[in-house]
Chain A
Amino acid sequence: MKEHEILRMIMQNKLICPVSEPEAYKWLKDSEDNFNRISNHLEPFGIKLVSMCDGDVYAGLNAVPSESDKKAISKQFHDIYNNIGPIIEMLTCLASADENNNALVMGDKLKQAELVLAANDNKHFESMLNQVSEITGATKKPNDQQVEALLERLRKHDIVILSNSAQKIYRVTGMISYISQIFEYITENLFDDFDEEAIELQQGLGL
């Protein structure tokens, strides 16, 4: 892995995770020396290499930001945050396709063809898919198009990448870990109590 490629990703404000940038991620993770080398390169520019989300992703952080830089960081966060409603809807929809209603996690594979079959077989998932079709712009479209639109929308949010275009297989990136941490923050700070029992009852009931 060429160091300049990693530096370029960081300078472009990209998250480096084992799914989207496996080589770069491995290069940084496998050796403390490598991590330090990149950190040293970035230091003169006031940029810090940070490991986030329990080590799921690496990114650069402007450690001496100007006012406009500060705004850019906040904006980046708020762009995701302001879209959190649609993101929650889409992720819940995909969770309902899983027999255990499991939320997506980094590294999950999403096969478009299998999701279409699941939508045809699983009424709950199909109903959720219809509900998110307003977000994905696939209202009143057949299941296959709704699934495709959903995956494409997630791709635009960098939550998934298309890892095999021929077979339409998507993989969930480290962005999901970042989003999950936002979820945690919201849950811990906006809700007085975290009613686990009630949630267990709600899962899969087509709220």
Chain B
Amino acid sequence: MSEGIKLTEDKIKTLGRAITDKADVLFEAYSPESCYGAVNTSSKQYKVLRDSGVISINANSITLGSSFRDILRTVDQKSYRTHTMPDVEDWKQNIHHSIQMAQAASDSFDETHDEMMHLANIRDEANMLSEALGREMANIEYIINSDLNNTPNIKAKRIILESLNKKIKSQIQKTAILGREELYKLHGDYTKAAVILDEYLSDSIVRFNHEMGVHLDKTILLIDKLKKDQNRQNKILWQLHKALRNEQFIPKQMGLELRDIESIGLAFGGIDVSDNFYNIELSDDSYLLATIIGKLASSKPSTKGKEIKIYEGEYVESADRIEQQKPSPEKLWVLKYLSNNNTDDLNKCYSVREYWQTAGLSHVVEYKAFLALVLKVCGSNFKNDHVIKKKDTCYWKLYLKKRWLSDTCDTLYITDAKYVRCHTTSTEPSERELWTPNSLSA
């Protein structure tokens, strides 16, 4: 198409720059409400725009030139086309018109440039139609993947599918006028147009028809399935209703065990969570605290008031407790911690945080949850240090590392704790001794 170039590069670029620089003026001139009057039109760029037919400079205003209005109209149409279903008949007519023009120009020796221009139009039209079909496919896929999936109601799903079904059928009917035979009728033996249509449009139409066919089958299947589901639900409900009325079915006569309920996929819950929350700052981890405390509460021995017995590194539960159930996995974490600290050597004692960091628990439980678990198992009131157990000259004590959240807030913030075995014959460890980081974990 180089035959058509008559303007120099400089002229094209000068026009382009003038349009860019005066974009605000062009917009004002385009807006129906505004009138661009008070402007100095003596600059060179205004002259370029006027000479190119982009604008007309009048006595008191600037208006858009008719050729530039045509360009804007084309832009507007293109924008419209991108947002609406492609009107295939309209596109076909446009292509047909361009083919006729190109063919007419090709017959004339003087109009090579015009033929190229019309062939370029055919290419653009074919391209745009191909893009429009692609967008239509994307739209339909979007409806299937998004609208349908995001609609929980099967009745609404059915409405969406039925409307989609109609839309697809209509599109398939429309593109039928762009079959190979129909396209041949458009270009006949004019091979230049045939090549363009083949390259830019034929594949898109074949792909579009194929995809639409697949989607159509899918929508028909889904509509059918939804209809059957709804019918089945209706029938079951009415049958049960009839059976109830005829006393053929008395619900309370039926007994189902947990395994039956599980086998039919209807078992859920069974999670016993205590409503008791403790005065401990846990921010977003509070659910874990609630969970653990709940589980512990549910597995608490029925022998209320009995103390946890800790002897020589072993956690010994009362006989009746053992008969009832084994400690939960969560409780075992705590028992292992207590067992680890059951030593006279304070240097070998871990704080809860140190133990949590070194015993691999950080991967399975949040720190704050584990801390709360230790406090709960040790029977802490979440406020003060306390002696858990005494035996002879030995006693086991849980120390809390705590601080108030602020001077004005009465929330006690427990940051750590340490389970320590002490002797009545020796002095208690000092704060510094207690909370100096353990050399083993440092």
A contacts, CB < 8 Å to B: 2, 4, 7-8, 10-13, 15, 17-19, 26, 44-47, 50, 52-53, 56, 59-62, 65-70, 72-74, 76-78, 81-82, 84-85, 88-89, 91-92, 95, 101-103, 105-108, 174, 178, 180-187, 190-191, 194-196, 198-200, 202-203, 207
Contact of A52 among B238, B240, B268, B286 (CB under 8 A): B268
A86 CB, nearest partner CB in chain B, Å:
10
- CB-CB < 8 A to A15: which residues of B? 268
Identify the stretch in B186-194, B228-236, B389-397 within 8 Å (CB) of chain A at 4 or more residues. Answer: B228-236
Q: Is the CB of A62 within 8 A of B238?
A: no
* CA distance in complex: A127, B318 (Å): 63
Q: A19-B152, A88-B240, A101-B234 are in contact. Are A77 and B287 (CB under 8 A)?
A: no
Q: Is the CB of B269 within 8 A of A202?
A: no
* CA distance in complex: A108, B291 (Å): 34
With both beta carbons as reference points, the residue of chain B lying nearest to A187 in the complex is identified as B236
B151 an interface residue at 8 Å Cβ cutoff? yes
A170 CB, nearest partner CB in chain B, Å:
13
Q: Is the CB of B256 within 8 A of A47?
A: no
Contact of A85 among B251, B257, B295 (CB under 8 A): B251
Q: A89-B241, A102-B234, A203-B238 are in contact. Are A76 and B269 (CB under 8 A)?
A: yes
* CA distance in complex: A105, B254 (Å): 25
Q: A95-B234, A102-B230, A105-B230 are in contact. Are A69 and B298 (CB under 8 A)?
A: yes
* CA distance in complex: A11, B291 (Å): 7
A145 CB, nearest partner CB in chain B, Å:
23
- CB-CB < 8 A to A11: which residues of B? 271, 273, 287, 290-291, 294
With both beta carbons as reference points, the residue of chain A lying nearest to B294 in the complex is identified as A11
With both beta carbons as reference points, the residue of chain A lying nearest to B255 in the complex is identified as A78
- CB-CB < 8 A to A77: which residues of B? 256, 261, 266-267
Q: Is the CB of B271 within 8 A of A103?
A: no
Q: Is the CB of A103 within 8 A of B153?
A: no
Q: A68-B298, A74-B258, A102-B155 are in contact. Are A195 and B269 (CB under 8 A)?
A: no
* CA distance in complex: A68, B299 (Å): 9
- CB-CB < 8 A to A89: which residues of B? 241, 244
Please classify the interface of chain B as helix (H, G, I), strand (E, B), loop, or mixed, using the class held by over half of its residues.
helix
- CB-CB < 8 A to B299: which residues of A? 66
B151 CB, nearest partner CB in chain A, Å:
7
* CA distance in complex: A12, B291 (Å): 9
Q: A4-B285, A92-B238 are in contact. Are A190 and B155 (CB under 8 A)?
A: no
Known: A62-B271, A101-B234, A186-B249. 9 other contacts (CB 8 A): A10-B271, A52-B265, A69-B272, A89-B244, A92-B241, A107-B151, A183-B236, A187-B239, A207-B245
Q: Is the CB of A180 within 8 A of B236?
A: yes
Contact of B233 among A67, A103, A174 (CB under 8 A): A103
* CA distance in complex: A178, B269 (Å): 13
* CA distance in complex: A178, B268 (Å): 11
Q: Is the CB of B243 within 8 A of A85?
A: no
* CA distance in complex: A13, B273 (Å): 9
Q: Is the CB of B268 within 8 A of A50?
A: yes
B204 CB, nearest partner CB in chain A, Å:
32
Q: Is the CB of A191 within 8 A of B251?
A: no
- CB-CB < 8 A to B3: which residues of A? none
* CA distance in complex: A90, B288 (Å): 39
3 tightest Cβ-Cβ pairs between the two chains A and B: A107-B153, A13-B269, A59-B268
Q: A4-B286, A4-B287, A105-B155 are in contact. Are A47 and B236 (CB under 8 A)?
A: no
Q: What are 10 inter-chain pairs, A to B, with CB distance below 8 A? A: A13-B269, A45-B292, A61-B267, A69-B270, A69-B271, A92-B238, A107-B151, A195-B239, A199-B242, A207-B241
* CA distance in complex: A144, B248 (Å): 33
- CB-CB < 8 A to B287: which residues of A? 4, 7-8, 11
